[in-house]
Chain A
Amino acid sequence: MTTVLLVAERDEQGEISQTTLQAVAAANGLTEAQVTIAFAGEAPSSAGSLAAEKVVTLSAIDASDSGIYEQATADVAAFAASMNPDVVMFNKSDFGSIVSARLAFRTDSALAADCIGISNADGAVSVTRPVYGGSALAEFEIRSTPAIVTLRAGAYEPSTETGSPSVEAADSTESVEQRAQVTDTVAEARDGVRLEDANFVVSGGRGLGGPEAFHVLTDLASVLGGAVGASRAACDAGWIDHSHQVGLTGKSVSPDVYIAVGISGASQHMAGCSSSRAIVAINKDSTSNIFKEARFGVVGDWEKILPSFIATVRELKA
Chain B
Amino acid sequence: MKVRIVVLAKQVPDPETPPSQFKIDESSNSVITPNGVPPVVNGFDLNAVEAALLLKDSDADVEITVLSVGSDFVMDAMKKPLAMGADRLVLVADELLDKLDSSATVKLLAAAIQKDGPFDLILGGRQASDWDQAHVTLGLSEVLGLPLVSLVKKLEINGDSVSLQRLIPDGYQAITAPIPAVLTVTNELGEPRYPNLRGIMQASRKKPEIFSLDDLGLSPEDLTPKLELKKLYVPESNKQVELIEGEDEADSGKKLALRLREEKLI
Nearest-neighbor residue (CB-CB) of A178 within chain B: B147
Chain B residue numbers with a CB within 8 Å of A191 are none
Contacts A140-B227, A295-B239, A304-B253; is A186 near B174 (CB within 8 Å)? Answer: yes
Per the bound structure, the CA–CA distance linking A224 and B225 in Å amounts to 50
Of B18, B132, B227, B251, the residue contacting A142 (CB under 8 A) is: B227
Per the bound structure, the CA–CA distance linking A141 and B226 in Å amounts to 9
Q: Which of A143, A243, A280, A305 has the most CB of B within 10 A?
A: A305
Question: Does any Cβ of B come within 8 Å of A46's Cβ?
Answer: no
Question: Does any Cβ of A come within 8 Å of B60's Cβ?
Answer: no
Nearest-neighbor residue (CB-CB) of A289 within chain B: B19
Binds B, one of A27-35, A80-88, A94-102: A94-102
Number of interface residues of A (CB under 8 A): 90
Give the shortest distance, in Å, between B261 (CB) and chain A (any CB). Answer: 5
Chain A residue numbers with a CB within 8 Å of B242 are 295-297
Give the shortest distance, in Å, between B45 (CB) and chain A (any CB). Answer: 13
Per the bound structure, the CA–CA distance linking A291 and B250 in Å amounts to 19
Please state if A105 and B174 are interface contacts (CB–CB under 8 Å): no
Per the bound structure, the CA–CA distance linking A316 and B266 in Å amounts to 8
Question: Does any Cβ of A come within 8 Å of B217's Cβ?
Answer: no
Per-position 1/0 for B51-68, Cβ under 8 A of A: 000000000000000000
Please state if A141 and B230 are interface contacts (CB–CB under 8 Å): yes
Binds B, one of A51-59, A167-175, A306-314: A306-314
Please state if B265 and A137 are interface contacts (CB–CB under 8 Å): no
Please state if A296 and B138 are interface contacts (CB–CB under 8 Å): no
Binds A, one of B70-78, B122-130, B196-204: B122-130
Question: Does any Cβ of B come within 8 Å of A113's Cβ?
Answer: yes
Per the bound structure, the CA–CA distance linking A293 and B19 in Å amounts to 12
Please state if B228 and A132 are interface contacts (CB–CB under 8 Å): no
Chain B residue numbers with a CB within 8 Å of A67 are 149-150, 166, 168, 173, 175
Please state if B138 and A135 are interface contacts (CB–CB under 8 Å): no
Please state if B139 and A296 are interface contacts (CB–CB under 8 Å): no
Per the bound structure, the CA–CA distance linking A313 and B126 in Å amounts to 40
Question: Does any Cβ of A come within 8 Å of B195's Cβ?
Answer: no
Please state if B132 and A114 are interface contacts (CB–CB under 8 Å): yes
Per the bound structure, the CA–CA distance linking A257 and B19 in Å amounts to 24
Chain A residue numbers with a CB within 8 Å of B170 are 187-188, 190, 243
Please state if B143 and A105 are interface contacts (CB–CB under 8 Å): yes
Chain A residue numbers with a CB within 8 Å of B266 are 200, 224, 257, 313, 316-317
Please state if B174 and A102 are interface contacts (CB–CB under 8 Å): no
Contacts A67-B166, A67-B168, A180-B176; is A143 near B106 (CB within 8 Å)? Answer: no
Chain B residue numbers with a CB within 8 Å of A98 are 138, 148, 150
Please state if A186 and B235 are interface contacts (CB–CB under 8 Å): no
Chain A residue numbers with a CB within 8 Å of B31 are 132, 136
Nearest-neighbor residue (CB-CB) of A144 within chain B: B226
Contacts A133-B132, A181-B175, A280-B256; is A102 near B148 (CB within 8 Å)? Answer: yes
Chain A residue numbers with a CB within 8 Å of B113 are none
**Interface set of A (CB-CB < 8 Å, partner B):** 66-68, 70, 94, 97-98, 101-102, 104-106, 108-114, 126, 129-133, 135-144, 179-188, 190, 196, 200, 224, 232, 236, 242-243, 248-249, 251, 256-257, 266-268, 277-278, 280-282, 289, 291-301, 304-313, 316-317
The 9 closest A-B pairs by CB, nearest first: A309-B253, A105-B139, A312-B257, A110-B226, A304-B249, A308-B253, A180-B177, A101-B138, A179-B147
- What are 6 A-B pairs with beta-carbon distances under 8 A? A110-B226, A113-B133, A144-B226, A184-B174, A289-B19, A298-B245
